[in-house]
Amino acid sequence: MFDFNKLKKNIDEIQNKINYFFKNKDLLIEAFIHKSYLNENKDIKIKDNERLEFLGDSVLSLIISDFLFNKLPSSDEGKLSHIRSLIVNATQCEIYFEKLNLNDYILLSKGEIKAKRKSSISANALEALIGAIYVDSGYEKTKLFLLNHFEDMFLDILKNPKMDNKSTLQEYAQKKYNTIPEYKLINAEGPEHEKIFFVQVYVNNEPLGKGSGSCKKTAEQNAANDALSNLK
């Protein structure tokens, strides 16, 4: 099991895996520290990865938007948004992170390790890593990192896009009301390592469905599915 000191000793190994070498290695360390680990190791003076995750989520969305804008010059906003959602969703981010073979480096609390591992941990770690590279080197280097590792996977999704619940509901809302669904977090229950999120989706200011899940994105998908069932 990895601890903080072992993570620091393996920085070069991680950098070789991702083929990116940090100017500020503290950013890389921060990207692999889950909030639960610091709750049990309060003597470690470094931040958890949530701020980097927040930034990385937006950077990933921007880079994929840029990628799709140039790859699909004839596609409208609706199709571009749909394909982007397929590329950047939590399930795909988990797959990307597993391809890098980095799961063993994430520092977790003992409780989180004993609990069934949530896919959101890997997905969030990928976004934190993207955020760390962006802070360290900016947009172009981050884009290069993503395309070097995952462009073939992005192109596969472009060739075979599948409609998910959120995209289907968005298509319905745009056609019928010329608006898009709004997802609101209404509650979150449970301990840090087993938190369940509850989301309600509104279309044209009317509540249409509710959903829950171990991460917000899953809860939103389930809320969209509930809304689609209610529309039948």
Encoded tokens for 127: 């976004």
Q: Which residues of the chain have pLDDT under 70?
A: 1, 114-119, 163, 192-194, 232
Residue from 177, 161, 180, 172 nearest 229 by CA:
172
pLDDT of residue 1: 57
Q: Roughly what angle, to the nearest 10 degrees, separates helices 77-88 and 165-177?
A: 160
Average pLDDT, the chain: 89
Q: Which of 30, 94, 127, 136 is catalytic?
A: 127
Q: Which of 30, 48, 57, 136 is catalytic?
A: 57
Residue from 136, 135, 107 nearest 121 by CA:
107
pLDDT of residue 117: 53
CATH architecture of 179-231: 2-Layer Sandwich (3.30)
Indicate the domain borders of the chain. 4-159, 179-231
Annotation says 30 is catalytic? no
Tens digits of per-residue pLDDT, 188-203?
Answer: 998 766 678 899 999 9
CA–CA separation, 59 and 205 (whole Å): 29
CATH architecture of 4-159: Orthogonal Bundle (1.10)
Q: Three-state DSSP class for 226?
A: helix
CA–CA separation, 150 and 167 (whole Å): 23
Annotation says 57 is catalytic? yes
pLDDT of residue 170: 87
Tens digits of per-residue pLDDT, 10-61?
Answer: 999 999 999 999 999 999 999 999 998 888 888 888 899 999 999 999 999 9
pLDDT of residue 68: 97
pLDDT of residue 193: 60
Residue from 128, 113, 153, 101 nearest 26 by CA:
128
